[in-house]
Structure 1
Amino acid sequence: MTDHRTVDAERDAILAALRPVADGIAATFGPVCEAVLHDYRHPENSVVAVAGSVTGRAVGGAMSEIGMRVLARGDRAEDELNYVTRTRSGKLVKASTMVLRDSTGAVFGALCVNVDVTAVGEAHALLGALAGLTDARAEAPVTTFGNDIDSVVDAILDAHRIGPDRPWGGLDRAQRLDLFRGLDEHGVFAVRRAVEQVAARLGISRASAYSYLSQARAATDPTPAGGHA
């Protein structure tokens, strides 16, 4: 049987050991680099250390949509390396998210490295224009890097285009279940009070939200009736 106090102590030690690593990464790459250390045991304030300043994160801040997606995958989560995203302020960021595991193999946090490549992207576009080349690169997705978890949950809801143009009342049952399934896959419901926030945003009762979440999870549960997980 796992001693939770021992595992927690081990996780605390890993996080403590990585704080100077985060400082070293940011110092090596200079002012365009930021290293953020996350403790997923506390999703609403997962940021335990920040070195550098690219996304405006602060200690005690919330995880982004990327972190929530990792959290939703649980121990199946893998490192996400060298992806490109964009902040809401327009910065182009090249990032890597490296999951942290304890000795049991359980994912409990992440070390994220964010590099502001906005100037590089602008230089690339300028040189391409001078050379007469067409820039056909896909637009980088926008990620909400906020210190408030509610703003992150709202951003994920916005991405699902639930609003005046696609009201809850206009969705059929399958679409409603699909919405809750999508939100769950993004890790939204791992966050405390998220069900209440989603219910308020959709204009439904908390009981209805819990019901749809339960039905969505049941519809995707791979365990057959009478079987074992």
Structure 2
Amino acid sequence: MSDADDGRAGGFDGSGLRAGNAAGRRAKSAAAAGEQDAIIAALTPVIDGIAATLGSFCEVVIHDFRRPEHSIVALAGSVTGRGPGGSMSEIGMQLLARGDQARDELNYLTRTQDGKMVKSSTMLLRDSGGTVFGALCVNLDITAVNQVHALIGGIAGVSASPAAVPTTTFGDDIGAVLDAIVDERQLRQNKPWTQLGRAERLQLFRDLDRRGVFAVRGAVQQVAARLGISRASAYTYLSAARTSADDDTGLPDGTP
């Protein structure tokens, strides 16, 4: 028997090493998934207690970032009108896009499309390896509190102009959230797509990418439809936006 044959018999050839490495990666991935599932399972009964303690104006949500289209796996209370199986908001998409570099977002204000003022904190869920896989979110409807504050300030003569609060789309349909992000970004351009220069179009796709839009399955097709361009053009702009931070190389004249 040759040395090469002896090596194969002992299971030490290149293919054996590759198979062993692949099996090891699968086992590690399965262990991480099991740990992540256990963390979510342990938190699920806790959110009912948090919501009950803070009252009827509180909503507590557990998001699983591994399924962004239907990230809500548990929910207690009702502020944003979503339910289990619902989607994440723009804030969640931004955190998803940042991956393991994301940080907790605490005590921020948003306004829902139906006019509610919401104070929120989003606390990331990490496994023992530091991988971000979800979030625990607390949303408080402070609309009435804000109105009372403005009333008292007006009576006391110390009212101030309210700070602008961004409007956030909350919904069970991830498509509605994506459309709202694209529409808001286009409004800031103050031009329709056909009037944007190539650099402006690239910047639009960079912004959408940084906000986590393209982490959602099927988002490229949906963004293309919203902008009125072909799916191929959308992929071209996204690829160029990710590979070039400062110019619009790779985009031929006339790209729709």
What band does the TM-score fall into relative to the shorter chain?
over 0.9
Matched, 1:139 2:164: yes
CA distance in 2, matches of 1:168, 1:37: 36
How big is the shift at 1:135? 1.7
How big is the shift at 1:46? 0.1
How big is the shift at 1:104? 1.1
CA contact (8 A) 1:93 1:117 kept: yes
TM-score normalised over the length of structure 1 = 0.93
Aligned partner of 1:119 among 144, 155, 158: 144
- Give unpaired runs (5+ residues) of structure 1: 222-229
How big is the shift at 1:15? 0.3
What is the match of residue 89 of structure 1?
Answer: 114
What is the match of residue 168 of structure 1?
Answer: 193
Are residues 215 and 164 of structure 1, via their aligned partners in 2, closer, same or farther at CA, if it must alter by over 3 Å?
Answer: closer
After superposition, residues 5-154 of structure 1 pair within 5 angstroms as 5-154=30-179
Aligned partner of 1:187 among 212, 218, 222: 212
Moved over 6 A (4+): none
Identity of aligned residues (%): 63
Q: Name the SS of the counterpart of 1:160 in structure 2.
A: helix
Q: Which residue identity does 1:145 align to in structure 2? A: F
CA contact (8 A) 1:162 1:168 kept: no
How big is the shift at 1:23? 1.0
* Structure label with greater radius of gyration: 2
CA distance in 1, matches of 2:179, 2:120: 22
TM-score normalised over the length of structure 2 = 0.83
- Give unpaired runs (5+ residues) of structure 2: 1-23, 247-256
Q: Which residue identity does 2:39 align to in structure 1? A: I
Aligned length in residues: 221
Q: What's the CA shift string for 1:7-33, capped at 9, x where partnerless?
A: 111110000011112111101101011
